[in-house]
């Protein structure tokens, strides 16, 4: 009798644990991407993607996001010279050669999920295809 009660108790506990871990899933969407963004991108593009004045472009309103296309910017960086306030400014974004395609996919999905108008998940195959065709 006791044994059966214990067993029921354990089962209920187990069930609650399983339910809780599923409930947590919503929060962990693109969690690795968020973590990578926080460590590697946020110091320039800011936590809310708003960038830094004329120096760092905002991601939250960028036309570059929304697909996997900006994978190349992450991998190779960007060195545009832009004309602003009657001077040429060299804007430099560092390259992140160290990232695997999986890591880039997670960053891309985190950025797009957070800021793109129409979110469509990119797969690792999408990212690999883009990376193979970087300029």
Candidate segments 11-19, 20-28, 40-48, 119-127, binder of ligand HEC by CB under 6 A: 40-48
Q: Which burial class, exposed, middle or buried, applies to 65 when counting CB atoms under 10 A from its CB (0-12, 13-18, 19+)?
A: buried
**According to CB under 6 A, which one of 68, 72, 101, 111 is a site residue for ligand HEC?**
111
Q: Which burial class, exposed, middle or buried, applies to 113 when counting CB atoms under 10 A from its CB (0-12, 13-18, 19+)?
A: middle
DSSP-assigned beta bridge partners for residue 83: 88
How many whole angstroms separate alpha carbon 61 and alpha carbon 50? 8
66 makes contact with ligand HEC (CB under 6 A): no
44 makes contact with ligand HEC (CB under 6 A): yes
State which of positions 71-110 bind ligand HEC (CB under 6 A): 73-74, 78-80, 91-94, 96, 107
131 makes contact with ligand HEC (CB under 6 A): no
């Amino acid at each position: 009798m006791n044994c059966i009660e214990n067993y029921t108790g354990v089962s209920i506990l187990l069930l609650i644990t399983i339910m809780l871990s599923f409930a947590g899933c919503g929060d962990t969407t693109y969690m690795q991407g968020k973590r990578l963004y926080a460590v590697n991108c946020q110091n320039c593009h800011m936590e809310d993607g708003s960038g830094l004045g004329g120096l760092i472009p905002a991601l939250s309103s960028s036309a570059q996001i929304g697909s996997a296309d900006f994978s190349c910017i992450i991998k190779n960086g960007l060195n545009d010279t832009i004309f602003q306030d009657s001077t040429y400014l060299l804007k430099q974004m560092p390259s992140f050669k160290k990232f695997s395609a999986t890591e880039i996919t997670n960053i891309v999905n985190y950025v797009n999920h957070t800021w793109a108008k129409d979110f469509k998940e990119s797969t690792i195959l999408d990212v690999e295809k883009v990376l193979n065709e970087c300029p």
